[in-house]
Amino acid sequence: MKILLQTNDAVLISFVESLLTEANIDHAVLDGHMSVMEGSIGILPRRVMVEDEDWRRAVDLMTEAGIDISAHPYER
């Protein structure tokens, strides 16, 4: 799996999940329950992961939706 998006914006994650689900792209959100460790203040980013073979299609989908994933600090 590859990271598609890394953010602590719960609304953005929800939107991205909706787009991926509608496009039949399997995905997973990692670190979603880390709020227990951080005291629910939302500082730890969640990672939206997609299968390697779906990554390019998912990136194209995010681009079409106007979501700039290039600003996230991880190596592609």
3-state secondary structure the chain: CEEEEEECCHHHHHHHHHHHHHCCCCEEEECCCCHHHHCCCCCCCEEEEECHHHHHHHHHHHHHCCCCHHHCCCCC
- Residue 59 confidence (pLDDT) above 90: yes
Residue 50 has φ and ψ, to the nearest 5°, of -135, 160
Q: Place 69 in a pLDDT band, splitting at 50, 70 and 90.
A: confident
Average model confidence (pLDDT) across the chain: 84
- pLDDT, position 72: 57
Q: Place 64 in a pLDDT band, splitting at 50, 70 and 90.
A: very high
Residue 39 has φ and ψ, to the nearest 5°, of 80, 25
Answer with the residue of higher pLDDT: 71 or 26: 26
CATH architecture of 2-68: 2-Layer Sandwich (3.30)
Position 15: which residue type? F
